[in-house]
Amino acid sequence: MTVRLEQLRRCHIAVDLGAARTRVYVKGCGLVVDEPSVAAVNTRSGALIAVGAFAEQMTGRTPDYIRVVRPVSGGTVVDIEMAQRMLRHLLGDKLRRQLRRKPRLRAAACTPHDSDPLAQRAAVETLIGLGARRVELVDTLIAAAVGCGLPVEKPSATMIMVCGAAATQVAVLSLGSIVTAERMPVGGNAIDHAVLQYLRQNHQLMLPSQSVRPLHLALRGNGLTSGGPVSTEIHGRDVVTGLARSVQVDTAAVRQAIHAPLTTVLDGLGKVLRDCAARPGGRPGRVRDHDGRRQRAAAGPRPDAAGRDGHAGAHRGTARRLLRARSRGDARRKDPADDPPADQALSAYGGTGGTGHPWTRRAAHAWCPGCRCCWRPC
């Protein structure tokens, strides 16, 4: 799933199907779609009622025959047909006609780190249904680093953290690929759930997930520090009576409530740093000397180097001919010590009998008992 930057520059459209928001970038037009990944469907007729922000506002406030669905969960497309319908509605007819004029439409799609082949196939099928002829899969971590302008292709370590709605991903990049990465199943939804549980247990207040937005605004910036606001007002519904009421929430208690999910993120960050420190400097490969010939890096002698010099090197051609000839032999010698020098070269080259070169394991001794210099009887 490693894609070079040259391949990304040739793409006409880039799609990021996230669990919370869907973003679409069109070459020459910029970011054209940045909406929540939500769709409202009429279960009686199957018609698509709303998508994006308007469909998100309908969560928990719809009649029985209207269902609010999320076709993307955890960065993976779980409903291909609904994801295609949502993207068509978000792009609009004018932009879709503009993309349809391109005969070889190339698209790029972001997938989570270490995603399974089924999730990758779902992303490809979603974009092919929109008219793409070729789909390039890009790791979310690499795409985020490129979008931030980080030096991804340079031989230097670059750390990136992607905080999504369903998961948080941390990675160290170098030379355009991922050195080490870690994916934690803790994201914005887990933090919202921790805040909702705190309000329910300590203030007997019940509110939907989208109503936590005022608390997010109060905690942003220096809200998570001691210098932030002391309290903020939250509107919700009483758990016991079911009536609407407002409470003053202490921000210090909220910081303590979200301490557990944030600790999980910090543990994953520390694991990535420890993996980078424990990773060896490099593996032996092949380098080129000043004459242009390839040499093996300093990693010890090759396992078959001892059999390719000395006496065996002088009879290398003879040994290879003997290997081909003995595979057609029909008799075995009783005493291999009486072999001529060529046979001893064959033993040094790969060994005879049941050990050594795999060809010689099946080879049979068929020396002529008369002249002892050929492999066919005189």
Per-residue pLDDT of 115-124, as tens digits, reads 889 999 999 9
CA dist., res. 85 & res. 39, Å (int):
9
Let me know: does 67 contact 58? Beta carbons within 8 Å: no
- In angstroms, the Cα distances linking 96 to 18, 81, 91, 141, 243 are 21, 17, 6, 28, 47
The lowest-confidence range among 25-29, 50-54, 204-208, 286-290 is: 286-290
Does 295 score more than 90 pLDDT? no
pLDDT-derived band at 192 (thresholds 50, 70, 90) equals: confident
Q: What's the number of CA atoms in the CB half-sphere (13 Å) around residue 71?
A: 25
CA dist., res. 108 & res. 143, Å (int):
10
CA dist., res. 214 & res. 156, Å (int):
40
Report the mean per-residue pLDDT for the chain: 75
Helices (H), 157-281: 188-202, 213-219, 251-257, 259-278
Does 108 score more than 70 pLDDT? yes
Q: What's the number of CA atoms in the CB half-sphere (13 Å) around residue 21?
A: 9
What digits encode the pLDDT tens for the residues 343-378? 444 444 444 444 444 444 444 445 555 555 555 555
CA dist., res. 250 & res. 262, Å (int):
19
Domains (ranges, CATH) in the chain? 5-151 (3.30.420.40), 188-260 (3.90.640.10), 307-378 (no CATH)
Q: Which helix (H) or strand (E) holds 118?
A: helix 117-128
> In this predicted structure, what is the pLDDT of residue 283?
44
Phi, psi of 322 (to 5 degrees): -65, -35
Q: In what order do the strands lie in the sheet with 30-36?
A: 30-36, 21-26, 13-17, 106-111, 134-139
The lowest-confidence range among 62-71, 85-94, 176-185, 340-349 is: 340-349
The arithmetic mean of pLDDT across residues 185-211, rounded, is: 84
> In this predicted structure, what is the pLDDT of residue 371?
56
Provide the phi-psi class of 191: left if phi over 0, else alpha when psi is between -120 and 50, else beta.
alpha
pLDDT-derived band at 214 (thresholds 50, 70, 90) equals: low
pLDDT-derived band at 92 (thresholds 50, 70, 90) equals: confident
Q: Are strands 30-36 and 158-163 parallel, antiparallel or unpaired?
A: unpaired
- In angstroms, the Cα distances linking 340 to 329, 346, 349 are 17, 10, 14
pLDDT-derived band at 254 (thresholds 50, 70, 90) equals: confident
132 closest CA partner among 110, 115, 108: 108
332 closest CA partner among 318, 342, 343: 343
Give the CA angle between residues 245, 52, 169 to the nearest 5°.
90
The residues, any chain, with a CB within 8 Å of residue 23's CB and separated by 6 or more, are 15, 16, 31, 33, 34
196 closest CA partner among 184, 211, 218: 211
